[in-house]
Amino acid sequence: MLRKKPRKPRRPRVYRIPLEFYLIALAAAFAFSVAISLLNRPTEVAYEIPHAFGVRDPSFLASAQALDGPSMTAGNRVTILENGVEILPGMLAAIHAAEKSVNFESYIFWSDSVGRRFRDALAERARRGVEVRLLLDGVGTAKRLTRSDVEMLRNAGCRLEYFRPIRPWMLDVINRRSHRRILVVDGKVGFTGGVGIAKEWAGNAESPEHWRDTVVRLEGPAVSQMQSAFQENWSEVTGELLVGEKFFPRLVPAGSVLAAVVPSSPRPSSSANQTLYSVAIAAAEHTISISNSYFVPNDASVALLAAASRRGVDVRVLVPGAINDVPVTKAGGRSKFGELLRAGVKIFEYQPAMMHAKTMVVDGIFATVGSTNFDNRSFRYNDEIDLAVYDEQIAGRLQAMFEADLGKSRAYTYDQWIHRPALKRFIELVLEPVRPQL
């Protein structure tokens, strides 16, 4: 009797998904997220601001304060801190001296040598009964602060929350980040500027590894405005309102500086900080000195700066040179350099390190220091914060720092712009459609 050979069991057919499918899906997801962010961007209102008064005219402050933001208060003490050698010890000393509360908001707080110093200082205060709250951005910090550091802070008693962490079902929030830098201790001492809590901000901008930055230490009545800015974001995330003497104590005059903390958030019209910058530029009569890490001016800002230069104002802008952590913003900003240079605006590139300061001085009396970049991302999408001062001594100190930085910079000329390589022109052309997002 013949027997049939048993059939070998068929191997299950394996369907392999081509690599191209994954790439197409990834590209589609990216395109979808960009489309969502574009649909949710605030509508820009371009104000026409004539040169009707000067920065030293009585109508300047009244006009600037009437348009947006808190009013300037007298009786403040403002200390300028330059680079990590002054900034980080100053902030850590304030934390170590805290008795009741520490409120800390930052776009960048990373687990490295600098981050660990702040982690330890904040944890130590919390263990001693100080109420410590940390609000960290869900994009700038979330992937660079280790879980062990988060657990250590929380186990010590710190309340740590993330501002708008990105989730697949929350693509509409990808654009609105908290780019603010706020440290308020006991409701009496505040800090703001461009600093991040990471090793890039250590040192004295003496090498490419150590960035150039500026921070202000604030005492006096305006500190309550900074505390209010922290509370705005904290309450959005947690629903908790901070009230009482440990957060808003009675603040007596600490100095003679007229100052205002100006926070801004996305809104249907221009942000508070863009409005403040615009009014100051339109009012300038003699000098405008701008240091900014990501200088990608929109058409309205280009027109204001060009108009100021044409009426005889010495407009100088200091930007990063070859050392730049986000080259795409450099390319995006460069496309507008020609129009500014033709109008007489002078542009300089900082050489020793990454230029990360965000300051502006107008006519030797009005100045701003803060987190705001000179780009649409700061003007239209992010939550930002600046300290505006109306004081010749503080403005003079910032102006002296600006002049010292120019000594470490190279002028970028119109001839250089005209003869820039074809590759740079091509990159600028490719970036043009997304330039409003930079």
The answer to whether residue 51 sits within a structural domain is no
**How buried is 181 (Cβ within 10 angstroms: 0-12 exposed, 13-18 middle, 19+ buried)?**
buried
Of all helices (H) and strands (E), which one includes residue 366?
A: strand 366-370
Q: Tell me the residue type at 264.
A: S
Is residue 270 in a domain?
Answer: yes
Residue ranges of E strands in 111-219: 131-137, 159-163, 182-185, 189-193, 214-219
Domain that holds residue 189: 58-437
Torsional sign, CA 419, 424, 429, 435? negative
Q: What pTM does this model have? A: 0.89
Residue 27 is predicted with a pLDDT of 53
Q: Is 2 contained in some domain? A: no
Taking only the tens place, the pLDDT of each residue in 46-59 is 667 889 999 999 88
Model pLDDT, residue 64:
81
**Cα 276 from Cα 304, distance rounded (Å):** 13
Spans of the chain, pLDDT less than 70: 1-47, 66-69, 168-173, 267-270, 438
Q: Is 189 helix (H, G, I), strand (E, B) or coil?
A: strand
User: Residues 304-345: pLDDT tens digits?
Assistant: 999 999 999 999 999 999 999 999 999 999 999 999 999 999
Residue 163 lies in a domain: yes
Q: Which residues of 146-177 are buried (b: 16+ CB within 10 A; e: fewer)?
A: eeebbebbeebbbbbbbbbeeeeeebebbbbb
Closest CA to 301 of 193, 410, 309: 309
Which run of H or of E encompasses 384?
strand 384-390
* Tokens coding 62: 């009244």
Decide: residue 207, CB within 10 A, 0-12 exposed, 13-18 middle, 19+ buried.
Answer: exposed
Separation of first and last alpha carbons in the chain: 82
Q: Is residue 21 included in any domain, yes or no?
A: no
Q: Is residue 32 part of a domain?
A: no
- Give the separation between CA 134 and CA 360, rounded to whole angstroms: 28
Phi, psi angle pair for 61, to nearest 5°: -65, -40
Phi/psi at 419 (nearest 5 deg)? Answer: -105, 20
374 found inside a domain: yes
Task: Provide CB contacts within 8 A for 124, sequence distance 6+.
Answer: 96, 156
CA angle 84, 356, 411 (to 5 degrees): 120
What radius of gyration do the chain's Cα atoms show? 25
The answer as to whether 388 is a domain residue is yes
Evaluate whether 277 touches 387 at the Cβ level (below 8 Å): no
CA angle 62, 67, 72 (to 5 degrees): 50
Of the candidates 178, 221, 213, which has an alpha carbon nearest to the alpha carbon of residue 72? Answer: 221
Find the CATH number of the domain harbouring 241: 3.30.870.10
CA distance 318 to 239: 40
- Take residue 419 and report the two structure tokens written for it: 């003869």
Q: How many domains does the chain have?
A: 1
One DSSP character per residue, 281-343 reads: HHH-SSEEEEE-SS-B--HHHHHHHHHHHHTT-EEEEEEE-S--S-HHHHHHHHTTHHHHHHT
Say if strands 359-362 and 189-193 run parallel, antiparallel, or are unpaired. unpaired
